[in-house]
Structure 1
Amino acid sequence: VETNGAIDPQMAVSKAAAILRDDLVAIFLAEADDEEVEQDRVPIPEPEPEEDMLIDDLDLGVRSLNCLKREGIETVGDLIAKSEQELMCIPNFGRKSLEEVRERLEKNNLKLRGE
């Protein structure tokens, strides 16, 4: 082993071995953790088909639809994850819009969070 003189060859090999050892230990520990996680893994339930439906398909009025989309609510799943209070905080989304959303959700046997 040749060095530039800043460190002697024995020290360079010793440090390289220590780095390699630490990296290998980290790899083996990560693999062991992955195996434990795999054993403890709980299946994630598939979303209901209605939750994947776009809010466009609810036949909401233009005002309600635009308010929801401006807030990033694109699917029925996004919508039912919101509470009445959260929806009422959306600018230009009032009681009539809320009632309209509730009616459309009820037609699909769905409700807002907390109802």
Structure 2
Amino acid sequence: MTAGANNAFTSVFAPFTDIEPDEYRRVTEVSYLGFAGVIVQVGSALGDRSIPLQPAYCGAKHAVNGFTSSVRTELTHRHNHVHLTVVQMPAVTPQFSCVLSRLPKSPQPEPPI
């Protein structure tokens, strides 16, 4: 069996009201829709616990969890032997240096990193 892994993501560091509709769309397209169809989902701790200044990213990662849970129940219902999981990663990705930020300082995860 071939297994896939996917860690597609993008985000916007900004308050909810400062994020443009096309920016929400882009985060959802990359961080959620880019996930559909793989076996190992690389999620985020922010898919379980939301934080300020990342509403689009947290929403997309919650969608990844919901999508994975729904597909998992379908596989179980069909007695399929495919194993599907989400790996919830902490702040270990290059997210803080490669996504759009409207904050006055460079964003970083909470220490210890």
TM-score norm. by structure 2 comes to: 0.25
Q: Pick the structure with greater CA Rg.
A: 1
In terms of fraction of residues, the more strand-rich structure is: 2
In terms of fraction of residues, the more helix-rich structure is: 1
